[in-house]
Structure 1
Amino acid sequence: MLRSVPKRLTVGFFVVLAFALGNAAISYRSTQKLIANEQAIAHSHQVLAELETTLSKLRDVETGQRGYLLTGDTQYLAPYVLARTQTQAQIAKLKQLTADNSQQEIALLEQKIAAKLAALERTIDLEQKNDFVAARNMVLSGQGRQLMKDIRQIIGEMEKNERLRLQQRARQSHIGFRDETVTSSIATLLNVGLLMVLYYLMHRYIKQRQQAEDSLREANQTLETLIQSSPLGIVALTPSGNVSLWNPAAERIIGWNNREIINQCLPLLDNQQLRQRILKGEAIHDIELSCYRKDGQAIAISLSTAPLRDATDQINGIMAVIADISDRYAAEQTIREQAALLDIATDAIFVQDLENRISFWNKGAERLYGWLTQEALGRNVYELLHAQPVGEILVSQENLIAYGEWQGELRQIDKYGKQIIVASRWTLVRDAQGNPKSILVVNTGITEKKKLEAQLLRVQRMESIGTLAGGIAHDLNNVLTPILMSVQLLQMKFSDSQSQNLLNSLESNVKRGAALVKQVLSFARGFEGDRVTLQVRHLISEITHLIQETFPKSIELFTDISPNLWAIFGDATQLHQVLMNLVVNARDAMPNGGILSIQATNVLIDEQYTQMNLEATVGYYVAITVTDTGVGIPPEIIERIFEPFFTTKEVGKGTGLGLATAIGIVKNHGGFVNVYSEVSKGSQFIVYLPAAEGTETQIIQEGEILSGNGELILVVDDETGIREVTKLSLETYNYRVLTASNGVEALAIYADRQDEISAVLLDMMMPSMDGANTIMTLQKMNPLVKIIAISGLSSNEKIAATTGSGVQAFLPKPCTAKELLETLHSAIE
C-alpha cells in the first residue's frame, strides 16, 4: 500500500503534470493567438498611418513641382526633392509592412507613384530647358491628374482592405481574450503554476498592448504634426457638416481662424448639391471651385474629400483637403488668353524645332494651309509645306542662324496641293544659355496680292498700249479722213462703172481701216458708240446670213431664238462685232467641219448666281450662246483667252484682239461672259447682256445727202489734206468755207468775220493752241457760237463736252461726207 502511494502520487503527479502541461499548452496557444492578433492590429494601424503619410508626401512632391512650374522659383525644388525622397522611402516601408498580404496592390501603387514622379520630373526638366509649351501641354494633358487619381484609388482600396482586416482581428482578439480568461480561471483552480504561467503570459500581453498603443499614439502625433505643418488646408467635418478640425494652412487659404470656424458650417459648402454629395460620403478628387476669403477676396481652390468611418464602417465625419490654385489658375488663364490671341491672328504662326518638327500651330496656320493642329504637330515642316528646292530653304536657315532673323517670299503648298505664296518672317528663339532652341515663323498669305499685282501690271501695260494705240489711231484717222472724203468726191465726178468699182473698193478698204482703228480704240479706251433699244434676233439674223454666205459648207448651223426675247440697250455695230468675233473663232476651231449653234434666251440672274459669279449682278438678262464642236480650249490657257494680243493661231491668222475687244464691249454694256470648254469636244461662249425696258428703236435708213444754203463755215485743222478735202466737200454741197491751220489763226479769222460764220468745224488736237482752249476762247468771243468738234481720239469727245454749251456735236475721224453734212445741218438748224 505504501509502495502504491508513490505510484499514485507519481501517476497523479504525471496526471496533474500532464493536465497542467495540456492546460498550459492550451493556454499558451490561446495567448499566442491573442498576441498575434494584437500585433496584427498594431500592424494595421501602422499600415494605415504609413499609407496616409505616403499620400501626404506625394502631395508635397506635387506641390513643390507646381510651385516651381508656376513661379519658376528654384526654392520650390528643395521641398520637392525632400518630399520625393521621403515618398520613395515610404514605398519601401509599405513594401516591408505589406509583404504578406498586399504585394499586388503595393506593386501597382509603386508603379503608379513611379510614373507620377517621372511625369513630375519630366515637366520640371522641360521647364528647366525652357520648353514651356511642352511643359504646359504635359500639365494640361491630364496625365498627372489621372495618375494621382489612380494612386488615391489604390491607397483607398488598400486602406479599406486594411480596415476590414483590422475589424476582423479585433473581433478575433476579443474572442481569444474571452477564451483565454476562462482557460486561465480553470487553470488557476487546478494549478497555481498554471496561474503563474497565465500571469506571465498576461503580463507579456499587456506589455505588448501598451507597446502597440504607444506606437499608435506616436503615429497619431506624427499625423497631427503632418496636418499642422501641411501646406494644404486639411479640414475634418462632423456628420452634420460642421468643422471639427481646421489646420493653419486652411486658415491661411480661407482666412478664418480656428476659434471662428470650429463647430461652424464650412463656408465652401454654400453649393447645396456639393454639400449633399460630401455629407453622403462621396469621395471627391481635385474639384476646382471659386470661393471668397473672409476678407472678400475671390480665390480659386482645389477640393478633395474622403469619408471618415468608425469601426462599424459608419460615416462619422468628412476629411477635406484644400489647395489654393489662384496663381496656377491665373497663369493658366494667361496662357489660354495668349493662345487665344495667337489663334485669332490672321497670319499663320507656328514654331519648329531645329530638326524642323512643328511644335506649335495656330488657327491662322490651319486657315492658310488646311492642316489641322493635330495633323501638323510633330511633322517635318518642309515635307508638309515647301514645294521649292530644299537648297533655297537651307540658305534661309543659314541666314537665320547668322543674323537671328530672316524674311522673304516662299512658294509653298497647302494640304490640297494648291500652290500659295507667303511673305515669311523667321525669328530664332534661344534658351536661357543663349543656344538656338527653335524657330518662330509668321507667314502671311500673299497669293491674291500677287495676282492683283499681276493684274495691275497688265492694266498698266494696257494703259501704255492704249496710249500708244490712241496716238497711232489719231494719226491714222488724220490720214484716212482726206482719203475717204476724196473718194466720195471722186465718186460724184466719175460716173463710169470701172471708176465706180475702183472707188467703191477704195472706199471699202478705207472704211475697213477706219473700223480696225476703231476696234483698237474700243479695246484700249472703251469706246462708246451710239446706243439704242434693239432686238438681238436682228443681230443674230445678220450673223446667220453672213455665216451661210461665207462659212464652209462642212459647218452646220443651228439657231434657237426665244419667241418672246427681251430687248437690250446697246450699240448694234459693237454687238455685231462681238458676235462676229465669236462665230469666226468657232469656225477656226472646226477646220474639218462641225456644228455651230447660236441660241438666245431670257435669263433671270438671282443672288445665288451672283455669289458664284462676281461679275454678275441681280437682274434680267438676254443670254446669247455660241457653241461649237471644235478642238476645244486647253485648261491651262482658258484663263488667258481674253488677254489682248494672246492668240493660239498661226502668225498672220489672228491679232489676239478679237476676244479682248469682245469682252471689253460686253462689259461696257454692263454684261459678262462665261466660257465652258473641253478639249476635243468643243467650246461654249455665253454672252449675258442686261435686258432693256421699252420697245426696239428702229434704225433709220439712209436718205439723201443734205445740202447747205450758202452758209459760211470755218474749218480748223492742222492737217492740210483734211482742210482741203473738207473745204472741197462742203463747197460741193453749197457751203462757203474759210480754213485755219491752228487755233490762233482760227481766232483771228473768227474775230474778223464772226457775224458771217454760221459754224466752226474744229479739230481737238492742234499745235500752238489745242481745241479745248480754242473752244473756250470762241465762247468768250461769242457765247452763241456753234462748234462741231472733230478728232481721231474718242476721249476728246468728253473733253469737248466739258468746255460748254457751244459744242453742238462731236465727229470721230474718219467720217464720211454724209456724216459731216448731216451733223453740220443739224448744228446750224
Structure 2
Amino acid sequence: MTQNNLEQAITGAHQRLENLLQRASKPENHSNKQDSSVELLQEAIAEISISLEELHALTEELQEQNEELISTRELVEAERQRYQDLFNFAPDAYLVTNDTGIIQEANYAATQLLNVRQSYLIGKPLAVFIYQPERQKFRQMLQRLRQQGQIRGQELWMYHKDGNIDFPAEVTAVITEADSEGTNSLRWLLRDISDRYRTEQKIREQAALLDITADAIFVRDLHNQILFWNKGAENVYGWRAEEVLGKNAEQLLVRVTKETSPQLAAALKTVIEHGSWQGELCKVNKYDETIVIASRWTLMRDPAGIPKSILTVDTDITEKKQLETQLFRNQRLESLGTLASGIAHDLNNILTPMMTVAQLLPQKHLQIDENSQQMLKLLEINARRGADLVRQILSFTRNCEGKRTIVPISQLIEDVEQIIKCTFPKCIDINTTIPTDLGVVLGDSTQLHQVLMNLALNARDAMPNGGRLHISASKLFLDENYTKKHIEVKVGRYIVITVTDTGVGISPAIIDKIFDPFFTTKEVGKGTGLGLSIVIGISNNHGGFVEVSSEIEVGSKFKVYLPSSEGSIAPVVHKTQLPVGQGELILVVDDEAAITQITKTTLEIHNYRVLTAQNGIESLALYTQHKDEIKLVLMDMMMPSMAGGTAIRTLQIINPQVQIIAMSGLASAEALAQAIGNGIHGFLTKPFTANELLNSVQQILIPSAEC
C-alpha cells in the first residue's frame, strides 16, 4: 500500500466517526433515547473494529514495503560498489571533470598513469597534465566536446607529476546530462598508447626504408594481385603505386613466352613448397623495355599458418649483365688474341723470305723469262695476301697497330661507297648520309677502310634478294652517364658511323656471339668468321667501340664509335728507288735462318757487308769482336736463349751509341719504344719487303754518316 492509500483510509475512518458524533448530539424523543444510544454505541464499536482491521492490514503492507525497500537499497549499494570497483580498477584511466575541466573523480588507473596520489588529482585542472605545446589542442577538444557531446580517438601527449613528457594518450570523452543544479559533467577515458606509438613509429621507419631502397619491393596475393608497391618498384618498373595496386603482376611485368612460362610456374611451385625462391628473370617495364631482374620471393602466411601472399624483392641487374657480357667478350678476344699472336709470329717469319725473294730474283737475274717473272709476281702477291690475313687476325688484339694519321671520315665513306657501288649487285640500293662538318679521327686509314668494307660485305650477304644499304655518320658527345654502362669507354666527342641494312636480321640467340673470332653463320667456304671480330678489334684499338641492334626479317644496324680528333700529321713520303750502301757492316740477328739468309742477301746485293747471328748471346759475341766496324744492328724481338729486348739493353751497355732496328711481327714501333726505351732507332714489321728493309737501313745510316 502506498502513502496515499494510507491517508485515504485514515480520512475515511475519521469521517465515519464524525458522522456518529453528529447523530449522537441531535435531540430525540425520550422514549427512543435509550434505544438510540445503544444503536450508536454498536455502530461506533463496529466502526472502530473496521478501522483497527484496516490499520492492521496497512501495517502489514508497510512492513512488506519496508523489507522490499531494504532489499532494494542493498542491491543498489552492491551495484554502486561494483561500479566503483569497475571504475577504480579498470585497465584504462577514467576521470570525471566539471564543464571547465576540473577533476572531480579519478580511478586507480588514472593515478597510476599520471604517477600521483588520488587526493592530489581531485580539484586539479586536467590541463596541467597536458604537454605545454598541446594545451591549445586540448582546449579545442573541450570546445568540440561541449558542442558535439563526445570526442573519440584523439591523441595527446601527457605529463607526469615531475613534469617530464612520458607517454602519448588516446583520449575519448562524453558529456553527461545536467544534474539538479544544472551542471554538466565530463567523463574522460585516457589510454596509454606508447607501445602502439612505438610500433607505428617502427612501421613508419621500415616503410621509409622500403621506399628509399633501390630494390623493387612489392607484395602480391596468391592470385597475383598486387597489394603493396614501394618507391623502388616505381623506379625500377616505371609504374606508380596507384597504377598497379590490384593489377595482375604477371600480366603487367612479364612478357610470357615459351621460355618464361615454365620458369615462372617452377618458381611459384618452389615458393609454395619451400617458402622461398630466388633466381634471374627477364621482365618488362612501363615502357615495354626488357630488363634483367635478380628476384627473391618469400611466402607470407596468416596467423593460422595458411599461405596468403608472396613478398618479392627485385634488383635490376640489366647494366651488370651488359658489363659482364662485354667483359666475357673481351676475355675471349684476349685469349684468342694470345693464340693468334703465336701463329702470326710464325707466319710472318715464313712470309718475310718469300716476299723478299720474290722481289730480289728479278733484280739478280735480269735475263729471267717473262713467264718466270709472272710466277714471281704471283708469289709476291700471294705472300702479301698472306701478310694481310695475318694482320687481320691480329686486328682484334692490342698488339698490332698501323701508322696513325689524320683520317677524314667523310672521304673514307665516299671511297667505300664508290667501291661497293661498282661491285655489289644492282638489286641492293646503296646510299650515304654524310654531314659537311663531320670531322676527322686519328687512326690507320687502311684498318678503318677494312672496318667499313667488312660491315658492308656482311650487309650484302644478309640481303641475297636485294634490299637497302645505308651508311651514315654523325658527331656525338658521350657523357659520364653513358660511359658507366660501357667498359673502357671515355667521356668525349665521337664520330659515329652507322651501317644499316634491310636483310634477314640476327637471331637474339646468337647476337652476343657474332663478334667472336671464327664464328659464322655462313656456309663452309663462304666466310672465315673473322669479319666482325676484326671490326671490333680495330675499333677498340682506335679507342672506340661497336654497338649492334637487329630484328629478324627487318634488318640490322651496326654503329662504330671512334674518338674525334683535331690537328694534322705530316704525310709519309715513300721513296721510289731502292737505296744502296757504301760498304757499311750490319749485324743481322734472327733465330729464323731463312730470314737471316734473305736479309743478308738483300743487303749484300745493295752494297752492304753483313754478319748474322741466330740468337741474342751469339749477337753479343759478334758485336764485341766487331763493335768498331758494326754501324747498325737488326735485332729480332722474339728469340730463344736471349730475347731481343735483353740483347738490346746489353748492347746499349756495351756501346750507348749503338744504332738498332728492331724486327717483329707482333708489336708496333710505339709499343716497343715504350717497353725498351729510346735506344731503338727504327722498326721493321714482319713480313717486310726489300724496299722496306733498304729504306729503313738508309734512314738510320745516312744521318749518322752526315754527322
Deviates more, 1:736-745 or 1:461-470: 461-470
Deviates more, 1:692-701 or 1:777-786: 692-701
Equivalent position of 2:119 in the other structure: 259
Paired with 1:460 and 1:661, the residues of 2 have a C-alpha distance of: 15
Paired with 2:677 and 2:106, the residues of 1 have a C-alpha distance of: 98
**2:308 equivalent to 1:308:** no
Paired with 2:612 and 2:671, the residues of 1 have a C-alpha distance of: 25
Cα–Cα, structure 1 residues 183 and 799, in superposed 2: closer, same or farther, change >3 Å? farther
**TM superposition shift of 1:636:** 4.2
**TM superposition shift of 1:717:** 0.3
Q: Kindly provide the CA deviation profile for residues 10-41 of structure 1, in whole angstroms up to 9, marking residues without a partner as x.
A: xxxxxxxxxxxxxxxxxx9xx8xxx9xxxxxx
Equivalent position of 1:322 in the other structure: 190
Contact 1:560/1:599 (8 A) holds in 2: yes
Equivalent position of 1:725 in the other structure: 598
Equivalent position of 1:485 in the other structure: 356
Cα–Cα, structure 1 residues 315 and 686, in superposed 2: closer, same or farther, change >3 Å? farther
Cα–Cα, structure 1 residues 612 and 297, in superposed 2: closer, same or farther, change >3 Å? closer
Paired with 1:816 and 1:577, the residues of 2 have a C-alpha distance of: 22
Once the two structures are superposed, the pairs formed by residues 87-106 of structure 1 within 5 Å of their partners are none
**2:141 equivalent to 1:277:** yes
Contact 2:503/2:553 (8 A) holds in 1: yes
Cα–Cα, structure 1 residues 787 and 578, in superposed 2: closer, same or farther, change >3 Å? same
Equivalent position of 1:774 in the other structure: 647
Identity over aligned pairs, percent:
41
Equivalent position of 1:515 in the other structure: 388
Paired with 1:693 and 1:590, the residues of 2 have a C-alpha distance of: 37
Paired with 2:284 and 2:500, the residues of 1 have a C-alpha distance of: 37
Cα–Cα, structure 1 residues 598 and 712, in superposed 2: closer, same or farther, change >3 Å? same
Once the two structures are superposed, the pairs formed by residues 32-47 of structure 1 within 5 Å of their partners are none
Contact 1:369/1:414 (8 A) holds in 2: no
Contact 1:386/1:411 (8 A) holds in 2: no
Equivalent position of 1:784 in the other structure: 657
Equivalent position of 1:651 in the other structure: 524
Q: Kindly provide the CA deviation profile for residues 714-771 of structure 1, in whole angstroms up to 9, marking residues without a partner as x.
A: 1000101000111111222222211111111100111111111111100011111111
Task: Give the gaps of 5 or more residues in structure 1.
Answer: 1-27, 36-176
Cα–Cα, structure 1 residues 804 and 209, in superposed 2: closer, same or farther, change >3 Å? same
Q: Which residue, out of 298, 306, 315, partners 2:166? A: 298
Equivalent position of 1:243 in the other structure: 103
**TM superposition shift of 1:792:** 1.6
Counterpart amino acid of residue 129 in structure 2: L
Contact 1:228/1:248 (8 A) holds in 2: yes
3-state SS of paired residue (2:464): coil
Q: Kindly provide the CA deviation profile for residues 292-341 of structure 1, in whole angstroms up to 9, marking residues without a partner as x.
A: 32233622322221112215896622211122233444455456656766
Paired with 1:422 and 1:609, the residues of 2 have a C-alpha distance of: 23
> Which has a greater percent of helix?
1
Cα–Cα, structure 1 residues 560 and 377, in superposed 2: closer, same or farther, change >3 Å? closer
Paired with 1:705 and 1:219, the residues of 2 have a C-alpha distance of: 132
Paired with 2:9 and 2:483, the residues of 1 have a C-alpha distance of: 104
Cα–Cα, structure 1 residues 187 and 502, in superposed 2: closer, same or farther, change >3 Å? farther
Equivalent position of 1:816 in the other structure: 689
Equivalent position of 2:155 in the other structure: 288
**TM superposition shift of 1:464:** 2.5
Contact 1:361/1:376 (8 A) holds in 2: no
Paired with 1:439 and 1:723, the residues of 2 have a C-alpha distance of: 80
**TM superposition shift of 1:790:** 0.7
Equivalent position of 2:335 in the other structure: 464
Counterpart amino acid of residue 123 in structure 2: N
Cα–Cα, structure 1 residues 186 and 711, in superposed 2: closer, same or farther, change >3 Å? farther
What is the TM-score of this pair, normalised by structure 2? 0.75
Once the two structures are superposed, the pairs formed by residues 674-713 of structure 1 within 5 Å of their partners are 674-695=547-568, 698=571, 700=573, 702-713=575-586
**TM superposition shift of 1:521:** 0.9
Cα–Cα, structure 1 residues 664 and 200, in superposed 2: closer, same or farther, change >3 Å? farther
3-state SS of paired residue (1:301): strand
Deviates more, 1:237-246 or 1:275-284: 275-284
Q: Kindly provide the CA deviation profile for residues 661-707 of structure 1, in whole angstroms up to 9, marking residues without a partner as x.
A: 11222233233334444444443333333322125754545533333
Equivalent position of 2:401 in the other structure: 528
Contact 1:623/1:688 (8 A) holds in 2: yes
Contact 1:555/1:594 (8 A) holds in 2: yes
Q: Kindly provide the CA deviation profile for residues 152-190 of structure 1, in whole angstroms up to 9, marking residues without a partner as x.
A: xxxxxxxxxxxxxxxxxxxxxxxxx9xx99999999998
Contact 1:534/1:696 (8 A) holds in 2: no
**2:255 equivalent to 1:388:** no
Paired with 1:349 and 1:623, the residues of 2 have a C-alpha distance of: 39
Paired with 2:316 and 2:478, the residues of 1 have a C-alpha distance of: 32
Paired with 1:430 and 1:311, the residues of 2 have a C-alpha distance of: 51
Paired with 1:213 and 1:274, the residues of 2 have a C-alpha distance of: 40
Contact 1:720/1:741 (8 A) holds in 2: yes
Task: Give the gaps of 5 or more residues in structure 2.
Answer: 18-46
Cα–Cα, structure 1 residues 590 and 699, in superposed 2: closer, same or farther, change >3 Å? farther
Paired with 1:597 and 1:359, the residues of 2 have a C-alpha distance of: 47
**TM superposition shift of 1:505:** 2.2
Paired with 1:414 and 1:190, the residues of 2 have a C-alpha distance of: 109
Q: Kindly provide the CA deviation profile for residues 469-489 of structure 1, in whole angstroms up to 9, marking residues without a partner as x.
A: 111100000000111111111
Contact 2:294/2:314 (8 A) holds in 1: yes
3-state SS of paired residue (1:502): helix
Counterpart amino acid of residue 248 in structure 1: Y
3-state SS of paired residue (2:567): coil
Cα–Cα, structure 1 residues 452 and 605, in superposed 2: closer, same or farther, change >3 Å? closer
Paired with 1:341 and 1:688, the residues of 2 have a C-alpha distance of: 41
Paired with 1:453 and 1:596, the residues of 2 have a C-alpha distance of: 32
Counterpart amino acid of residue 827 in structure 1: I
Paired with 1:632 and 1:427, the residues of 2 have a C-alpha distance of: 43
Equivalent position of 2:32 in the other structure: none
In angstroms, what is the RMSD of aligned CA positions? Answer: 5.0
Cα–Cα, structure 1 residues 289 and 311, in superposed 2: closer, same or farther, change >3 Å? closer
Cα–Cα, structure 1 residues 574 and 378, in superposed 2: closer, same or farther, change >3 Å? closer
Paired with 1:729 and 1:710, the residues of 2 have a C-alpha distance of: 13
Q: Kindly provide the CA deviation profile for residues 539-570 of structure 1, in whole angstroms up to 9, marking residues without a partner as x.
A: 23332332244333443433443333312211
Equivalent position of 1:99 in the other structure: none
Paired with 1:386 and 1:558, the residues of 2 have a C-alpha distance of: 44
Paired with 1:392 and 1:626, the residues of 2 have a C-alpha distance of: 42
Equivalent position of 2:43 in the other structure: none
Counterpart amino acid of residue 712 in structure 1: L
Paired with 2:309 and 2:620, the residues of 1 have a C-alpha distance of: 76
Contact 2:218/2:233 (8 A) holds in 1: no
**TM superposition shift of 1:414:** 5.1
Equivalent position of 2:621 in the other structure: 748
Counterpart amino acid of residue 572 in structure 1: S
Paired with 2:464 and 2:607, the residues of 1 have a C-alpha distance of: 54
Q: Kindly provide the CA deviation profile for residues 802-822 of structure 1, in whole angstroms up to 9, marking residues without a partner as x.
A: 223211122221112222222
How many residue pairs align between the two structures?
Answer: 640
3-state SS of paired residue (2:565): coil
**2:268 equivalent to 1:268:** no
